[in-house]
């Protein structure tokens, strides 16, 4: 019963992780219109969020080792709820950049802590199902935003999402006693205590560098699709902002479905095969998105398939971390992988924004295809190097 209740809390926590991530991409066309700013400028908000997340991810293992996963998860979720309220009152893009700081700092530590906690204690099935619940979070928030764009404004969309986040924060507060058993097991020596790896030590490890490449590239695909997908449909398919926001929900539904299916087959296939299957679906999606067709349905179907294929790759890389690098070092390595992942969210959307400003948003499928190729290279290098290291042991 204890484990079931804790898992329910973890599932809810992953919904909270997803809620802020897809709001901005859906609201971006309306924000651009209201603030009368160029295409490239809003992505600086996302870059600030991701930059702050990189900072908190980098130091996450030290923070979590000191305060525990439960307290860090509760506090970080509360901070993100307040940040969403802040977004809704911003009178200009500069104020939104300021509100992005606590949003990023709150996201990083909780994300790292939950991923490591699940990889150590629950395994592949729950890792994929829990990331599926992240997908629920990123599906719910575009629905909220599209509804508010129809009936009110993007500001009300942020306030509604903040209320949902606040409710999840309360659930986390009430769940504090459920976390104690696992933490007591570590304190009593039933599990090996976590150890730190310095950034310098990790840079020297070829397998870690390969994992970084895979994490960066797969999250670049996710970032570009989530943040630019709606804008791509507006500028190349002529959709209104609210219609594009509704269409991008299919991308997040695809991500959720991909992770759900991975959870169903995790025990049977294992994480490596799930990553390979995801890459196969993603290849089909990239080709479909590149087709020179003016059909909105084809583009939306391609975005859906990107979600299905790319969705399982990142959580399964996370799940493999204790096996690839050792259970005691998994927290430090997962923190570094997540920092690299958020670097992708920080760097690739604004760079594409500059590209789109001068060459057009229609280049989005090409750029996504390039990052898909980089994902395949990173996964292959990681697999080869891990197998080689295991043979030497």
Between CA 282 and CA 167 the distance in angstroms is 35
Residues 195 and 330: their CA atoms lie apart, in Å, by 8
Q: How far is CA 292 from CA 213, 236, 345, in A?
A: 30, 11, 27
Q: What's the pLDDT at 106?
A: 84
Q: Is the pLDDT of residue 292 over 70?
A: no
Q: What is the pLDDT of residues 20-60, one digit of tens each?
A: 877 887 788 888 888 888 877 887 887 788 788 888 877 77
State pLDDT tens for residues 181-219.
666 655 555 555 566 677 778 888 888 899 999 999 999
pLDDT digits (tens, 9 = 90+) for 360-385: 888 899 999 999 999 999 999 999 88
Alpha carbon 91 to its chain centroid, in Å, reads: 28
Question: Of all residues in the chain, what percent carry a pLDDT higher than 90?
Answer: 22
The pLDDT of residue 183 is 61
The Cα-based distances of 309 to 18, 233, 286, 299, 346 in angstroms read: 18, 20, 10, 15, 22
Query: pLDDT tens across 127-163, in order?
Result: 888 778 877 787 787 778 888 888 888 899 899 888 8
Decide if 346 contacts 51 (C-beta within 8 A). yes
C-alpha distances in Å from residue 7, one per residue of 2, 82, 114, 151, 179: 9, 25, 11, 36, 10
Domain 2-392 sits in which CATH superfamily? MFS general substrate transporter like domains (1.20.1250.20)
Domain layout of the chain by residue ranges: 2-392
State if pTM tops 0.85: no
Position 273 confidence tier, pLDDT thresholds 50, 70, 90: very high
pLDDT at 111 over 80: no
Residue 193 per-residue DSSP state: P
Place of tokens 């307290």: 71
Residues whose CB falls within 8 Å of the CB of residue 236, separated by 6 or more in sequence, listed in order = 299, 361, 362
Instruction: Average the pLDDT over 343-366 and give the result.
Output: 86
117: confidence class by pLDDT, cuts 50, 70, 90: confident
């Amino acid at each position: 019963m204890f484990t079931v209740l804790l898992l329910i809390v973890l599932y809810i926590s992953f919904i909270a992780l997803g809620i802020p991530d897809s709001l901005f991409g859906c609201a971006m066309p309306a924000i651009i219109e209201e603030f009368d700013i160029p295409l490239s400028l809003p992505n600086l908000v996302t870059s600030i969020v991701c930059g702050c997340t990189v900072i908190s991810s980098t130091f996450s293992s030290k923070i979590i080792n000191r305060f525990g996963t439960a307290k860090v998860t509760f506090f970080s979720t509360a901070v993100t709820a307040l940040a969403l309220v802040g977004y809704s009152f911003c009178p200009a893009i500069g104020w939104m950049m300021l509100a992005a700081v606590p949003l990023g700092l709150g996201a990083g530590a909780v994300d790292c802590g939950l991923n490591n906690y699940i990889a150590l204690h629950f395994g592949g099935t729950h890792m994929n199902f829990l990331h599926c619940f992240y997908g629920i979070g990123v599906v719910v928030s575009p629905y909220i935003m599209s509804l508010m764009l129809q009936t009110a404004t993007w500001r009300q969309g942020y306030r509604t999402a903040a209320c949902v986040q606040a409710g999840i924060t309360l659930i986390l507060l009430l769940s504090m006693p459920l976390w104690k058993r696992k933490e007591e097991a570590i304190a009593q020596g039933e599990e090996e205590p976590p150890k730190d790896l310095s950034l310098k030590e990790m840079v020297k490890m070829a397998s870690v560098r390969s994992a970084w490449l895979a994490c960066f590239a797969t999250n670049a695909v996710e970032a570009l699709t989530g943040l630019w997908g709606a804008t791509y449909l507006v500028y190349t398919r002529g959709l209104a902002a609210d219609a594009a926001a509704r269409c991008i929900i299919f991308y997040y539904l695809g991500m959720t479905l991909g992770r759900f299916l991975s959870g169903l087959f995790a025990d049977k296939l294992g994480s490596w095969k799930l990553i390979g299957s995801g890459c196969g679906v993603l290849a089909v999606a990239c080709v479909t998105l590149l087709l020179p067709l003016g059909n909105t349905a084809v583009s939306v179907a391609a975005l859906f398939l990107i979600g299905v294929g790319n969705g399982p790759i990142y959580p399964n890389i996370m799940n493999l971390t204790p096996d690839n690098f050792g259970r005691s070092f998994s927290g430090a390595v997962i923190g570094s992988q997540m920092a690299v992942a958020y670097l992708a969210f920080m760097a690739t959307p604004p760079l594409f924004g500059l590209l789109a400003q001068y060459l057009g948003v229609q280049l989005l499928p090409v750029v996504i295809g390039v990052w898909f190729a980089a994902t395949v290279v990173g996964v292959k290098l990681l697999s080869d190097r891990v197998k080689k290291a295991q043979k030497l042991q």
